[in-house]
Amino acid sequence: MQILLTGAGKGIGYAATRYALAKGHQVIAISRDTTALQNLQNEYTGLEILPFDLAESDMTNIETCLQRAGKVDVLINNAGVLINKPFEALTSEDWAYSLNVNLLSVVRIIQTCLPFMRGAGKANILNVSSMGGFQGSSKFTGLAAYSTSKGALVTLTEFLAAELVAQQIHVNCVCLGAVDTAMLQQAFPAYRAPITAEEMGQYLIDFCTTQAHLFNGKILPVAVSVP
């Protein structure tokens, strides 16, 4: 399968990229920091690295890359940004940046990928949200902008699943609980998660490549624990 994955340079995204390559898939890996990804090119074929900051709105480089690939079977919107500040301290710039990266960049990526997904057959999109954006879950001080933007991603998933069903493109969302990543440590420095980035990366790839055709418009909490 041809997989496009954002936030591929570290954590869950890097683990997912490595696992997908080991399984023989082709991967377009998008990340601001591509240092770790470059090491993978010595181990695996089938990897195209695309340095890109998702805060940018110009999708030209991504579209050019997709034209070379010819199709996209799986799109995993994994990239995200976390701002940890009390609500009263959040600035307009904080809100704009959080919403831009966690929501609007997903909109732009999906719009760019759709022409390359329509003819793929059983193509699917997986949006990676958080338990912080899952209705009824525990909410934590300092994460208002992050959780709000991730909650919006949940709603976007439900709308896209309905709108794209005629094009045979499935859209689902996973709301992740505590995973041992740098982002989790930023939010909860003293907490140690029971799930590794490698375990979650493997789960995302297995879901998209073997199970996603069984789901559409589903918001799936994938969590053993939350801090």
Neighbours of 224 (CB within 10 A): 11
Question: Could you give the CA distance from residue 37 to residue 136 in angstroms, rounded to a whole number?
Answer: 37
Spatial contact of 52 and 59, defined as CB atoms under 8 Å apart: no
Closest by CA position to 182, among listed 170, 193, 166: 193
Catalytic residue among 14, 19, 146, 203: 146
The C-alpha atoms of residue 88 and residue 66 are separated, in whole angstroms, by 42
146 catalytically annotated = yes
According to DSSP H, which parts of the chain are helical? 11-22, 35-40, 60-69, 92-99, 105-117, 144-163, 182-187, 197-206
Q: Which sequence positions are flagged as catalytic? A: 146
